[in-house]
Structure formats: structure tokens, C-alpha cells
Chain A
Amino acid sequence: MIIFLQATFEGLSLGAVYSLVAIGFVLIFRATDVLSFAQPAMVVVGAGFISYFATQIGIPFWIAFILGIILTGILGFVIERTFLRPMVGEPVFSVAVLTIGIDILLRVVLDNWIGINPKYMGDPFPSFGNFGSLSIGGITIKYLEVTALIISLILIFVLSLFFKRSKYGVAMRATSLDQEAALAQGINVGRVFGLVWFIAGLLAAFAGFFITGGFNTLTNSSFISALRALPAVVIGGLDSITGAVIGSLIIGLTQAYVGYYQFDIESAYNIRLGNGFSIVAPYLIMFVILLIKPHGLFGTEEVERV
């Protein structure tokens, strides 16, 4: 039971972090019709910024944290302006591949900076911050995971308020419904595109901090964990924010349960799932769900015309 609770907690926390990346995907996809494969790279770039300011330059953690997040947002904005604006109206596949090119560029620069030694994020509260944990009834709860869970929930709440209430939120929803109609209503669609990439960048940087914080550290393979938001988006449906959150939770829980129970399952049924099966399990779930519902759990089915 303790193991179960432990796994559930870790899974929920992981899922909440993935959902930040996943929401970024969905935002970009809905507003601009671009599937951004560069999003995982933005996650690690965000973590890289924070780590660089906090540990290498030595700025106080909170300033470094905010600076890193805003810089990642600006990077998203710049990417949209320079690389994606000329591609408006091109086939979806071409644009998706273009974002793969951006992803390669970002990661080369980052890998070069990371080098061989893992990079640490800074720590706001040296006595019990990122590295600490507390124990409730035998369950180890890391402070980082609690913070991740809480901050992700707050961010999701703030975002949903933003979409419902603010002027730009409404403009974004209008743009995602129909770009031309939004343009005709006087919405500056170009600015909305930029804003969407900016927000996606902010979310990516938040996720980056939580994915690489504490003992996880930023390495050349942190990218793989960030990429796991992709199956989450697909499970939930490419164009649904609710779907993105639920898909992320499914992925996070799967990963945690598989991580904790793989050995038991293997010995009970006498099979061998192999090392690192918890990394593949989310993709298997994605396979199964797409077989049953090709548009994901919450995705809208396209009405197609010839």
C-alpha cells in the first residue's frame, strides 16, 4: 500500500509537470496549426537558462528563475517570428519538420554547454529546498515534487482564467477557431501567434525546472523526459487542453507504476519487459488508445470534405 501511494504521488507530480509542456503543445497547435517538435528542446533550454544564471553567474535564485523563464518565453517568440512566420499556410508536415530542425539547433547549442558534467539548478531554500524530502507514514515526499504539483495546478488554473476572462485569451480562442474570421473581426492574428509561442515558452521553462531540479540534474538526456509530453498530448487529443492535462496524468502515473511494479509483474508472470521499460510504457499506452480512438480521448473529430 505504501508503495502504491508513493507511486501514485510521484506519478501525479510527474504528470502535472508533463501537463505544462503538453499545454504548450496544444496552445501552439490550436492557435497556429503547428505541431511543435521544438517544445521538448524549449524545456531543456529553459532549465539551461535557469541553471546558467543561478549556478554559473551566481545571481540570486529567484531572479535567475524568473529571468530564465522570461528569456525562454522570448526565445519562443523569436522562433515564431523568424522561422515560422514565413511558413504560414504551408503543409502541416513541412512545418512540423521545420520545428525538428529548430529542435536540432537548440539542442546542439545546449548539449555543447552542458558537456559531460550534469548541471544543477539553483536552490531557493538551501536548508530544505530542492534536495530535501519529508516522510509521511513511510511515504517519501520530495519538496520539489510537492512544489511541482502545486505550481502546475496554479498555472493551469491561471491559464484557464486567462482564456476565459482576458481580452487576449478570448482573441486566442477566436484565432484557434478560425484564423480568417478572427482576422476579419479585427484581431491581430500575428500578435496572437507570437503570444502563444511566448506562453508556451514560459510553460516549457517551468516544466524544465521541475524536470531537471534537485537530484535529477540537467544532462544531455533530459530531453528524453521532456519528449514524454508528446504521447500525453496524443492521448488527450491534439486540440484539447483538458485532454492534455488528463493525458499527462495518465502518462505520469503509468511511468511511476511501471517503475515501481515492473519487477513484481515480471516475477509473477515470468516475463521479461527489459531495462527502461517505464520509458516505453507511455508510448505503448498511446498506441492502444489511438487504436481505439484515433483522435485521442478528448480530441475533436475532423469533418472532412473532398
Chain B
Amino acid sequence: MSNRPDLYTSYRKESSIFPNNTQKFWFIVLLISAIFVCFVASDYWLILLTNALLVSIAAWGLNIVSGLAGQINLAHGVFVGIGTYASAVMGGVATRSVIGYELDLLLWLPLSGLIAALVGVLISPIAVRLKGLNLGLVTLAFVFIGSHFFSNMVFVTGGSGLGRKAANLQIFGIDLNSGLEIGNLFLQKNQILYFISLLVAVLLGIGVKNLVRSKTGRAFAAIRDRDIAAEALGINLFRFKSVSLAISCFYGGVAGALLMTTFGGAEPGTFNLLYSITFIAIVIIGGAGTVLGPLFGSFFFVLFPALIQNVVLSSNLSEQELILSPQQIERVIFGLFIILFLIFEPRGLWGIWFRLRNYFKAWPFSY
């Protein structure tokens, strides 16, 4: 048996995190190259990669509640925003207009996730009562209420148009803003942030994978497929819907906290309707309900605009000659991709990857 890794002899084996050695191999290769990239890439690409990793954490969060548990959430961006400002309050410096407690990263990172999760649990009684499109519309209302709070709670967010600075980057009391020296290796702030994001992304990614194959994950899938049948099978709808929302918000909050630290600050206007829709688009373009999908979607979403900008910049066209500005081109392509993926490949990038993989697995035979 030992030399036939693709033959599953037990359920436990089939549902393990890496069901075969190939996957284990590629995961390790990817991880090593991800660490290696940090020392080669320029600051521009490093920040982009950090951003992509963090966005995929947030997208995983939305994927848990929408893709896995089937509850529409149009307000994920608000939870990301809550995490963002929670981190800024706990880890940031107090000024005349905003409050801040200058805590350690090890404290503010999990706490900002937990605070976002707490808000999720608080609103879950409303969310649990509704389902389908009504739920989507209520979460839409939450986007506007959230934006209202963000722009009016000046002592937390710094007020609309101004924003505030991000949390301090210090671990165990060591200030990492000017870099870190380990032996004769010097890590810059961007590299440190990249490593933190990579670590958190790997941990939370394995977390999602584990969730999917756990009892809770199966309960979520049952609720998504048919909630009444799930209830008849003894799944407590209220509890599991709340739990899915809480986990989702936790992911969003952690991602928000690190995103703000990467960009150095955040303005309340960022967390508008389009920001929340972005995450939905990422999940759909990547592939809803899968673990790898949001990762694909996020890298696509972050790296593709950068590519467009490079093309636009190198094409020597002036602003006037272009009909649309780069941001608008980005949004047009974004909207088009949502539509095209939904019509032609509802399983998203993950679906394309899945078919490619299966094609090459059996190559040169068609099946």
C-alpha cells in the first residue's frame, strides 16, 4: 500500500490536509519560493505580494460565510474596516484627535480579529433570522451604517478625508519600524511585514482547510445546500450561522489590521460599498466554496491591476489619449470578469485550474 499514495484506504486519509505526496511537495516548494521571493523582489512587488496575501485572508473569511455556509454577506468590507480601526486604536499612537494605546503586535493582531468577530456575533441575531436575498439586502444596509460610524467616530478613525496612522509595528517590545538585524541578516520593514503576512496567511489558510474537513465545516455545507434539511438532521441553525459569521469576521478583522499596517494608515471612506463588493468579486472570480479559490482570486485581483498600470505606463500614452483612466480600466475589467466568470465558469479560477490539473494528470490521454 505504501507505494500507492493515490489509493485511499480510509476516510481519514482522504480528508487529510495533504491527501497525497504531490500536494505536500508543491506546498513546500511554494512556501520555500515564497520565502525566497522576499530577498529578491523589489519593494514595489513585495508590498503588492503582501497585499495579495492579506486580501486573500479577508477573502477566505468571506468564503467561509458565503461560499461554505451559503449566507450572503455584502458587508465584509465593514468587518475588515472594524479590524483595521481596532488595531489602530490598540496599537496606534494617541494624538490630539484620536485615541491609541501602543500595544504589542502580538496583542493587537488577534484582538482586532476578535473585536470584528464580536461585532459579527452581535449582529448575527438579525442575520440568522433572514436568509437568501433579504439577508443580502440587510448586509447592504450594514455597509451604509458602518460607513456612517466610521466617518463620525472621529476619535477612533480620525474622521473622513483625514484618516489616522496605523498601529505600531513592535513585537515583544522591539520596534521593527526601522528594520531588524538577525546575525548578519538585515530585514527591512517591508520584508518583516511580508513575513508576518505570510506566516498569518499560512496559519489561517490551514485553518480554513481544517474547518472545511471538520464537523463544523460539514454543518456549514449542509446549511448552504438545504437549511431546512440541515435543521431536520439536528444542526442548530442559529448557532452555526452565528459561528460562521464570527469566524468570517475574525479573518476579515485580522486581514484589515495587517492591511492598514502595510499601507501605513487608513481613511474611513475606503470601506465603502465597492470595497465590500471587491471581496465578493474575489471569491467569485477565484471560486466560491473552495480553499484555494480565494487565494487565486486575491492574487489575480491585486497583481492584475499592477500589470495593467505597467502596460499603461510603458505604452507612452498620455492621460488625455486614454479614454478611461487606469483606475477606470481596472474597474471595467473587474466588472467584466465578474459577469464573464459567472456566465462561463461559475467555479472561477479554481475551476480552470482544476480542469488543467486533471488534463495534465492524465496527459497524453484525454481521460
Contact in complex: A96, B133 (CB < 8 Å): yes
> B33 to nearest A CB, angstroms?
33
Question: What CA separation (Å) do A290 and B339 show in the bound complex?
Answer: 30
Q: Within 8 Å CB of B126, what residues of A?
A: 287, 290-291
- Which stretch in B5-13, B86-94, B134-142 binds the other chain? B134-142
Q: A residues near B, CB below 8 A?
A: 35, 83, 86-87, 90, 92-98, 100-105, 108, 111-112, 230-231, 233-234, 238, 272, 274-277, 279-280, 283-284, 286-287, 290-291, 294-296, 304-306
Q: List 13 A-B contacts (CB under 8 A).
A: A94-B284, A101-B335, A101-B337, A104-B277, A104-B332, A104-B334, A108-B324, A108-B328, A234-B138, A272-B152, A279-B148, A280-B144, A306-B226
> Could you tell me the dominant secondary structure of chain B's interface residues?
helix
Contact in complex: A83, B343 (CB < 8 Å): yes
Question: What CA separation (Å) do A286 and B336 show in the bound complex?
Answer: 31
Q: What 1/0 flags go to B306-329 for Cβ under 8 Å of A?
A: 000000000000000001110010
* B229 within 8 A of partner (CB): yes
Question: What CA separation (Å) do A275 and B346 show in the bound complex?
Answer: 41
Question: What CA separation (Å) do A274 and B208 show in the bound complex?
Answer: 39
Question: What CA separation (Å) do A146 and B280 show in the bound complex?
Answer: 41
Contact in complex: A111, B328 (CB < 8 Å): yes
* B109 within 8 A of partner (CB): no
Q: Are A100 and B277 CB-contacts (below 8 A) given A90-B346, A105-B336, A234-B134? A: yes
Contact in complex: A104, B148 (CB < 8 Å): no
Contact in complex: A279, B136 (CB < 8 Å): no
Q: Within 8 Å CB of B151, what residues of A?
A: 274-276
Report, nearest first, the 6 A-B pairs whose CB atoms are least far apart.
A274-B152, A101-B338, A104-B335, A283-B141, A101-B339, A105-B335
Contacts across chains A and B counted by CB atoms under 8 Å: 122
Question: What CA separation (Å) do A120 and B266 show in the bound complex?
Answer: 34
Q: Within 8 Å CB of B328, what residues of A?
A: 108, 111-112
Question: What CA separation (Å) do A230 and B137 show in the bound complex?
Answer: 8
Other A-B pairs beyond A280-B145, A284-B141, A287-B145, 9, CB < 8 Å = A87-B343, A93-B72, A93-B132, A101-B339, A104-B277, A111-B328, A275-B151, A291-B129, A294-B130
* B239 within 8 A of partner (CB): no
> B160 to nearest A CB, angstroms?
9
Interface residue range, chain B? 35 or more
Question: What CA separation (Å) do A220 and B343 show in the bound complex?
Answer: 29
Q: Within 8 Å CB of A290, what residues of B?
A: 126, 129-130, 134, 138
Contact in complex: A83, B152 (CB < 8 Å): no
> A282 to nearest B CB, angstroms?
8
**Which one of B130, B138, B226, B274 has the greatest number of beta carbons of chain A within 10 Å?**
B138
> Could you tell me the dominant secondary structure of chain A's interface residues?
helix
Q: Within 8 Å CB of B337, what residues of A?
A: 101
Question: What CA separation (Å) do A274 and B132 show in the bound complex?
Answer: 32
Contact in complex: B323, A274 (CB < 8 Å): no
Q: Within 8 Å CB of B148, what residues of A?
A: 274, 276-277, 279-280
Residue in A closest to B231 when the chains form the complex, CB atoms: A306
Residue in A closest to B331 when the chains form the complex, CB atoms: A108
Contact in complex: B133, A306 (CB < 8 Å): no
* B185 within 8 A of partner (CB): no
> B346 to nearest A CB, angstroms?
7
Q: Within 8 Å CB of B332, what residues of A?
A: 104-105, 108
Q: Are A286 and B133 CB-contacts (below 8 A) given A97-B342, A101-B338, A108-B332? A: no
Contact in complex: A294, B129 (CB < 8 Å): yes
Q: Within 8 Å CB of B232, what residues of A?
A: 306
* B29 within 8 A of partner (CB): no
Contact in complex: A101, B342 (CB < 8 Å): yes
Contact in complex: B342, A92 (CB < 8 Å): no
Residue in B closest to A275 when the chains form the complex, CB atoms: B152
Contact in complex: A286, B136 (CB < 8 Å): no
Contact in complex: A98, B339 (CB < 8 Å): yes
Residue in A closest to B147 when the chains form the complex, CB atoms: A280
Residue in A closest to B343 when the chains form the complex, CB atoms: A86
Contact in complex: A100, B133 (CB < 8 Å): no
Question: What CA separation (Å) do A101 and B226 show in the bound complex?
Answer: 27
Q: Are A306 and B277 CB-contacts (below 8 A) given A35-B133, A100-B338, A274-B148? A: no
